[in-house]
Each structure stands twice: as C-alpha cells, then as structure tokens.
Amino acid sequence: MTFIQIPIVNTSDNPVPEYATSGAAGMDIRASIAEPVILKPMQRALIPTGLFIEIPENYEAQIRPRSGLAVNKGITCLNTPGTIDSDYRGEIKVLLINLGDEEVVINNKDRIAQMVIASVEKASWIPVQQLNETNRGKGGFGHTGIQ
C-alpha cells in the first residue's frame, strides 16, 4: 500500500487523523471545541476540528458521516461527501445535523466524521449534437429502464 504525504497543521489537542484498521478507507476526525455543542432535533452546526491540511494537486479530502453516529444518534453530515479542494488552506470544519428525535451533545475530542483522501480526475467537455443511445435512455431517479 502506498501512502501519499500530506502536510498537516494540528492546532487542537487531538491526535492527527489516523486509520483505525488496515482496511479502513477513512480516518476519524474529532471535534476541537471549547464548550460542548448541543444539537437539537433538525438543528445543524459547523464543528471545528483544529486541522489544516495541504492536499496535493489532483487529490481531494472527502468528509463523510460516521455510521455509528448515524445509526445510534441520528447525527450525519450535510453536504455529504463534503469536498476539501487541494487549494483550500483554511480549517477543516464539519457540518453536522441531528436527524434524530433527541438532543445530542457534541463534546471536545468526539469523533464526528471521517475523512477519505481520493484522487480527482479532471474533465474536458466535447460539445456534440447528440449522445449515444443506451437501454436506460432518459430514465431518471430510481428508473433503470426495465419495465
């Protein structure tokens, strides 16, 4: 397995993100907050992490929900996956929402999301007058074209 080297500034008192297992795709990231944040049902909050990273060109960092928080407490990330572009140098913050029925308290050091580093392909457009046909055709959301 090859690891890409990514410079990181960590202004929090949390460890830098790390993979929990050898097969993990994402690294847990933690809240870096002075006081607990209470998320009421349907409330959202932008949670700081104290992390600043320098992602290489042609890569991105994706911020994704933690499945345990989602299933156990109804907490997920909005704008998922959130993309951190290679030219962004600000603090990583996580936009959480409480989709559960009860208040949830986010404390300093809580694992609030996971970060996946992914390569990015750039596209260039080729203007054409029509596209090739497929079996699916123009079938949209939830439609496979099979009757």
pLDDT band for position 134 (cuts 50, 70, 90): confident
Q: What is the pLDDT averaged over residues 81-91? A: 96
Q: Where does the pLDDT of residue 23 fall: very low under 50, low under 70, confident under 90, or very high at 90 and above? A: very high
- What are the chain's domains? 10-119 (2.70.40.10)
**Helix, strand, or coil (residue 73):** helix
Q: What is the DSSP track for 6-72? A: --EEE-SSSPPP-BSSTT-SSEEEE---SS-EEE-TT-EEEEE--EEE-PPTTEEEEEE--HHHHHH
Tokens of 19: 């993979």
| pLDDT higher than 60, residue 145 | no
The mean per-residue pLDDT over the stretch 102-121 comes to: 97
CA distance 30 to 38: 16
